[in-house]
Amino acid sequence: MYAFEAFLPTRIVFGAGKVGELRKYIEGLGKKAMIVTGRRSTKESGLLDRVLQILRSKGIDAVVFDKITPNPVLESVDEGARIARQEKVEFIIGLGGGSAIDSGKAIAVAACSGGSYWDYTRVGGRKRPRCALPIVAIPTTHGTGTEADPFLVITNTKTKEKLGEGFGKLTFPVVSIVDPETMVTLPKDQTAYTSMDAFYHSLEVFLNVNAYPYSDVLALDSMKRVVSNLRVAYENPRDIEARSELAWASTEAGITETLVGVVANHALEHGLSGFNDRVVHGLGLCTLGPHFLEYIFDHAYRRIAIVGREVFGVQEIDDKRAAALAINKLWEFQEVYGCNMPIRELGIAKEDFQEMAEIVYRMFKGLAEVTPGKPGVEDFVKIYEMAW
Ligand SMILES: [Fe+2]
């Protein structure tokens, strides 16, 4: 019945306070590290200093590369890789949200294999990377799942391509320290958006035509944890139990995404944030998500019904009715966090729909093909119109 292979080589160290044990896990990675991080939050929270101190205590030199922006861009990644080569950096620590860790992965590839990161992407050059520096991931948000997967998302601002890539074992972190204490300073809105990113990873994996029991159990569990804990963390950001549940939901979603992969909702979102870099990924997913479910309803209602019953407590035997109720519940859930926005409010121009759909379809054809009903470019345009 089922045939599958699961490759999950990352050592995941999970738990409150685990950053304090970092020194144990970087043994043998080298004497010079590059910390890839954003401009502000890890400095303000004191986390960057703490990590620097731990490295110093082990006699490891560190270069701090702190030019990473949300929706990270190719220019900074290539600059980071140049510096890493010049400074003879031996391993990378991605410290921060998904953008810092994804940039760390891209820098690890380009620093070791040479040239520009884009040379190694499926749209930029298709060169096979020779190697990548080892990557240590310390996430401070609970959404992207990048701590447990080989994927990275980098935007080429010249071509407006926001591209998700993965390089198998080269871009799996060698170790990820998932410490919910590092996440308590996340502001309310980001708490919601990042959690919804994890939710949609799991929802999309669950709808993927290649889903199987291992991916299902993680996907459903992670959606449940988001639905039952987001409210608490949103209202009380320092609630460490709720943060731990959301952190695990995110890592779990990352694992299940590694097993099976997301579907076209993520492709569609990359159109929004590729065209307007101020669009937050998690919010973009929410603005499209319920419409996406409506659009693929006839091909996916049995699976959506399961989500309704298992995640949202829908009590309805008929699959079509249960699936419709599930979509209503999703709307209601998102409403609490201000995530039900029409995409016109995200600064997206209707005239761009066709071009957006064409670009993302070209880049993410694989995701469309594993989506129930196999949507094409015209379907993508229709979903954008529904969400307008
Ligand atoms: Fe995502």
The confidence score (pLDDT) of residue 364 equals 93
Spatial contact of 269 and 205, defined as CB atoms under 8 Å apart: no
The confidence score (pLDDT) of residue 200 equals 98
Q: Please tell me the distance between residue 139's alpha carbon and the centre of ligand 1 in angstroms.
A: 14
The confidence score (pLDDT) of residue 2 equals 78
Element (H, E) at 104: helix 98-113
The confidence score (pLDDT) of residue 125 equals 83
Kindly state whether residue 4 falls inside one of the protein's structural domains.
no
The confidence score (pLDDT) of residue 160 equals 82
Residues 262, 307 within the same domain = yes
Residues 199, 175 within the same domain = no
Q: Please tell me the distance between residue 269's alpha carbon and the centre of ligand 1 in angstroms.
A: 9
Residues 257, 360 within the same domain = yes
Residues 158, 253 within the same domain = no
Q: Which residues pair with 163 in a beta bridge?
A: 154
Q: Please tell me the distance between residue 354's alpha carbon and the centre of ligand 1 in angstroms.
A: 22
The confidence score (pLDDT) of residue 159 equals 86
Q: Please tell me the distance between residue 204's alpha carbon and the centre of ligand 1 in angstroms.
A: 10
The confidence score (pLDDT) of residue 303 equals 98
Residues 316, 269 within the same domain = yes
Task: State how far the Cα of 66 lies from the Cα of 266, in Å rounded to an integer.
Answer: 27
Kindly state whether residue 6 falls inside one of the protein's structural domains.
no
Q: Please tell me the distance between residue 203's alpha carbon and the centre of ligand 1 in angstroms.
A: 11
Give the CA count within 13 Å in the CB-facing half-sphere of 275: 23
Kindly state whether residue 204 falls inside one of the protein's structural domains.
yes
Give pLDDT < 50 ranges for the chain. Answer: none
Q: Please tell me the distance between residue 144's alpha carbon and the centre of ligand 1 in angstroms.
A: 5
Residues 174, 248 within the same domain = no
Q: Please tell me the distance between residue 266's alpha carbon and the centre of ligand 1 in angstroms.
A: 6
- Taking the model in full, what pTM does it have? 0.95
Q: Please tell me the distance between residue 237's alpha carbon and the centre of ligand 1 in angstroms.
A: 22
Kindly state whether residue 169 falls inside one of the protein's structural domains.
yes
Residue 39, Cβ neighbours under 10 Å: how many? 11
pLDDT (tens digit, 9 = 90+) per residue, 264-308? Answer: 999 999 999 888 888 999 999 999 999 999 999 999 999 999 999
Q: Please tell me the distance between residue 197's alpha carbon and the centre of ligand 1 in angstroms.
A: 5
Q: Which of 119, 152, 183 is the last residue of a domain?
A: 183
Residues 257, 336 within the same domain = yes
Q: Please tell me the distance between residue 285's alpha carbon and the centre of ligand 1 in angstroms.
A: 8
Furthest CA-CA distance within the chain: 63
Task: State how far the Cα of 83 lies from the Cα of 239, in Å rounded to an integer.
Answer: 39
Q: Domain limits at 239?
A: 188-387
The confidence score (pLDDT) of residue 380 equals 98
Specify the number of domains making up the chain. 2
* Closest C-alpha to 89, from 49, 134, 156, 41: 134
> CATH number, domain at 276?
1.20.1090.10
Kindly state whether residue 263 falls inside one of the protein's structural domains.
yes
Q: Please tell me the distance between residue 278's alpha carbon and the centre of ligand 1 in angstroms.
A: 15
Residues 66, 121 within the same domain = yes
Strands 161-166 and 151-156, by their bridges, are antiparallel
Kindly state whether residue 62 falls inside one of the protein's structural domains.
yes
Q: Which of 183, 216, 233 is the last residue of a domain?
A: 183
Residues 273, 355 within the same domain = yes
Residue 327, Cβ neighbours under 10 Å: how many? 21
Kindly state whether residue 383 falls inside one of the protein's structural domains.
yes
Q: Which of 142, 160, 183 is the last residue of a domain?
A: 183
Q: Please tell me the distance between residue 59's alpha carbon and the centre of ligand 1 in angstroms.
A: 36
Q: Please tell me the distance between residue 325's alpha carbon and the centre of ligand 1 in angstroms.
A: 24
| Alpha-carbon separation of residue 304 from 206, 208, 310, 313, 370 (angstroms) | 9, 11, 10, 12, 16
Kindly state whether residue 349 falls inside one of the protein's structural domains.
yes
> CATH number, domain at 19?
3.40.50.1970
